[in-house]
Structure 1
Amino acid sequence: MKKVFVFLFAVSTAVASLAQEPLDTNFHRHISLHFQATVIPQYHFDFAAPYTGANSFLPSEPVATSLTTTLFINYKAAKNTYIIFNPEAAAGKGLSKTQGIAGFPNGEVYRVGSPKFKPFIARLYIEQRFALSKQLENVRDDENQVAETAHKDYFSVIAGKFSLTDFFDNSEISHDPRTQFMNWSLMGSGAWDYPANTRGYTMGVVLQAVYKGFSLKYANTAMPKTANGENMEWKGNDAMGQVIEASVEKFHLLKKKEGRYFSLRAGFYSNHAHMGNYALSVANGTQNNMAPDIDSSREYGRAKNGYYGTLESHWGKIHHFIKHSWNDGKNETWAFTEIDNSIATGFQFDGSIWKRKKDVLGIAFASNGISNNHRQYLANGGYGFIIGDGGLNYAHEKIVEAYYSFPLVGHITATADYQYVTNPAYNKDRGPVQLVAVRLHLSL
């Protein structure tokens, strides 16, 4: 770990220097440079479990710590052309090998299982924009965002490597596990099995039109070659992911007032891959007098279709969201997590309410479920890549999360987080689980 902290110190010092020193006026007009590092030690108290399977959340285990670092580079190569490059590195692991709870409690851990510090390219893509009106707006310098005066209404084409959650299923309240809610069910729409490799990234094309506060987005991307796989492939209708989303970023139901508005977005997706079928796997297992194996029914072209929707309301210092997502649950979960339907709601309170302007308090609830076929597969002893206790006494997985974040020192924010999970992996026979975490987030 000593090498990790030396690396963090060197990178953060370099980024801070470039960000603060006026090296060249032209340089600052064409490039945005930022850095983040997030450390999360997480622990759960012992809980009751009459039986434990290969993918179960362990009843007792030590603290698990995750670490991610990201360098955000956005170079404005031409008037409306941007090149984004984000090298990233990660270390540590999640509790129970990041298995055993469908709405996993740490959004910063990957389904890799290796604690070694490993660098990789998270994002490398190009964006070309085309103005749709002459209206301009001031854009502030931020992660992957150059400070400039840009066209407010535009059409853009994005191609390369990225995370689909960079552009879709966004939320001002519940989207970033580095600063907001950490649970997988809350940082996004749980039932959107969004195309991604093990670390959460894919390759493809995104088209987006933004006009007069409305946006319409479409993406066509590669899928993992195997469930929860690192390598990606695109084979037309045999293997690809598609999503389309419409949104209204800010609208008013009552008299327009500063800081008070609503946001609404809805997305529909269809994934095709070399998936297994739950019902067919159960039938194969019954015929052979053994537990079902999803591998036994895999073939190209199988699909998972679904939707997600989010409504946000902002009332000055109090913010609320509600999310709902669903997929057909016929074929196996392929990329994200084993949730076929989910509803979540929560609040964020600005610290200025209690005279702590930069503090934030959040509290939210999520209820996750799975389809009848998926349920039967697990009950008969089948395993996915996230959950599987060797048996199942089904009930909805329910999660409560609360966090309190505050500036610690300099550019570091600290967060205390608590989660309570009932029926982990949809199993009434196990849990409930109580988890606590401390999150330290450096942002430059």
Structure 2
Amino acid sequence: MLRKQLVRIFNDRFTFSPDNRVWLGLMLAAAAAAPLAAHADDIEEETWGVHGQATYVWQKKPSFDAAYSGTNSLSTAAEKGYSFSGTLFLGLRTWSGGELYFNPEVVQAVPMSGLTGLGGMMDSEQQKGSSSSPTFYRARLFLRQTWGFGGDKQAVESAPNQLAGMVDKRRLVFTLGNLSIIDIFDNNAYAHDGRTQFLNWALSTYGPYDYSGDTRSYTWGGAAEYYYDDWAFRFGRFMVPLESNGQRLDTRIAKYHSDQIELEHDHVIAGQPGKLRLLAFRNKEFMGGFSDALAYAALNGGTPDVAQVRKSQIKYGYGINIEQSLGSDVGVFARVSRNDGKTETYSFSEIERSVSAGVSVKGSSWHRANDTFGFALIQNGLSKAHQEYLAAGGLGVFIGDGQLNYRPERILEAYYSYSLSKAVALTADVQRFYNPAYNADRGPVTVGSLRLHAEF
């Protein structure tokens, strides 16, 4: 009955291709069979686990005004786009403290404007290698080993890539294999998951965090995490792409790599829990620098191009991540981050300074305890060298209007997640972009989204 009602609602309001109708049906069928999650008090050690998710995001924007457009501009015409992802999370307890995880995944997407024209991209489910045909691949394959060192016991619930059981609050955890760096680093209870929370890339993690990954944001490497009561310390080294924003990874991890370090502290303020995280990263990659590209163009003529001046270089950056509960139903968050702004974007977004903050509210006060309302503000910026590169006509992987009247890019995002059942949520989301791609001669523009998410 639920499936028929949803399909009728969507058919009445939106036009989907035949392929998209198939994905919608698969999502709803999986959700209908989903079991309810166990209560935290019922934690028993799992020897294996199977979870899954499917997420469909439909987006639309109207036409908007711009004085000019370039190769990588957001199109001024009205557009529609969509993304679909489906993932299985398979886990096995291999031995004492050992866990093995495998995630097969499928994606299908048509981005607006070919995924160009913004610093803070509008859909964190979109990938640089998106295709209108379904693409199947291995997303993750990794081993996690935990050694306990005492302290209080902490319950771990059954979840994707997490087997239920009890762990020591003082423990050492090693993770090794194929995964996403932000599976481990820069978590946030209110702004981290584009499948259930905010959609914008700059709210899933730090905008300037050029965290290493292939075109699907996955890489190979390892991380160590040490937990001591209310403190956690993390360090990880991972492979970088062989080429800027490429799919193939460079296996020479001793020569080219991405290192990150993070310190986390749990605290209580006025009886409410919160977390503070400090992160720093350092990437060694074969990159082009903005100043080098400008100097090369001045000497040889033509438009500056970072691809002409690539060499072994270092990129570094840092960020502060805060989350704080204000009550049983309200939480706030903020991130402040930047990178050195000297070299091209290698793996993530074209953002070099960013400030974001927001609030998340559960719907208990209006008798919808499983609903969530979220609102956030983002301001993104570029380094002076990057501004001059774009003003001279240079292109990045995502942005480049041919010229630039620089202003910080500002984004407002609000969403309401309506719980259809324990396993299915329908979300309405709106994003307002001011100075898209840091250009005051373009926009503003509003993007509306609908997201259907199912999990088990």
Cα distance, 1:28 vs structure 2: 8.2
3-state SS of paired residue (2:203): helix
Distance (whole Å) between structure 1 residues aligned to residue 33 and residue 419 of structure 2: 21
CA deviation profile, 1:54-113 (whole Å, cap 9, x unmatched): 111111143101000000111111120000101110001221111110100101110124
User: Does residue 315 of structure 2 align to residue 304 of structure 1?
Assistant: yes
3-state SS of paired residue (1:357): strand
Change (3 A) 1:403 1:428: same
Distance (whole Å) between structure 2 residues aligned to residue 18 and residue 173 of structure 1: 24
Identity over aligned residues, as a percent? 33
Q: Which residue of 2 aligns with 1:352?
A: 364
- Provide TM-score, normalisation by structure 1: 0.93
**1:53 aligned residue (48, 57, 70):** 70
Unpaired runs of 5+ residues, structure 1, are: 21-26
- Provide TM-score, normalisation by structure 2: 0.91
Q: Which residue of 1 aligns with 2:14?
A: none
Cα distance, 1:134 vs structure 2: 5.1
8 A contact 2:107–2:130 mirrored in 1: no
CA deviation profile, 1:231-275 (whole Å, cap 9, x unmatched): 001435641000000001x31234xx3xx1221001010001110
8 A contact 2:239–2:253 mirrored in 1: no
Corresponding residue pairs, total: 432
Cα distance, 1:143 vs structure 2: 1.0
Structure 1 residues 143-154: aligned runs within 5 Å: 143-154=160-171
Cα distance, 1:194 vs structure 2: 0.3
Q: Which residue of 1 aligns with 2:406?
A: 394
Letter in 2 for 1:221: F
8 A contact 2:425–2:452 mirrored in 1: yes
Distance (whole Å) between structure 2 residues aligned to residue 3 and residue 104 of structure 1: 25
User: Does residue 362 of structure 2 align to residue 315 of structure 1?
Assistant: no
8 A contact 1:225–1:232 mirrored in 2: yes
8 A contact 1:40–1:439 mirrored in 2: yes
Q: Which residue of 2 aligns with 1:341?
A: 353
User: Does residue 248 of structure 2 align to residue 231 of structure 1?
Assistant: yes
8 A contact 2:282–2:314 mirrored in 1: yes
**1:408 aligned residue (392, 395, 420):** 420
Q: Which residue of 2 aligns with 1:23?
A: none
Distance (whole Å) between structure 2 residues aligned to residue 2 and residue 395 of structure 1: 42
Distance (whole Å) between structure 2 residues aligned to residue 436 and residue 269 of structure 1: 33
Distance (whole Å) between structure 1 residues aligned to residue 396 and residue 145 of structure 2: 39
User: Does residue 306 of structure 2 align to residue 294 of structure 1?
Assistant: yes
Q: Which residue of 2 aligns with 1:199?
A: 216
Letter in 1 for 2:398: I
User: Does residue 268 of structure 2 align to residue 252 of structure 1?
Assistant: yes
**1:369 aligned residue (371, 378, 381):** 381
**1:269 aligned residue (244, 261, 281):** 281
3-state SS of paired residue (1:141): coil
Letter in 1 for 2:320: G
8 A contact 1:15–1:35 mirrored in 2: no
Letter in 2 for 1:87: P
Unpaired runs of 5+ residues, structure 2, are: 1-16, 37-43
Change (3 A) 1:12 1:400: closer
User: Does residue 112 of structure 2 align to residue 101 of structure 1?
Assistant: no
Distance (whole Å) between structure 1 residues aligned to residue 130 and residue 143 of structure 2: 31
Distance (whole Å) between structure 2 residues aligned to residue 30 and residue 36 of structure 1: 21
CA-based RMSD: 2.0
Cα distance, 1:5 vs structure 2: 6.0
User: Does residue 79 of structure 2 align to residue 79 of structure 1?
Assistant: no
Q: Which residue of 1 aligns with 2:190?
A: 173
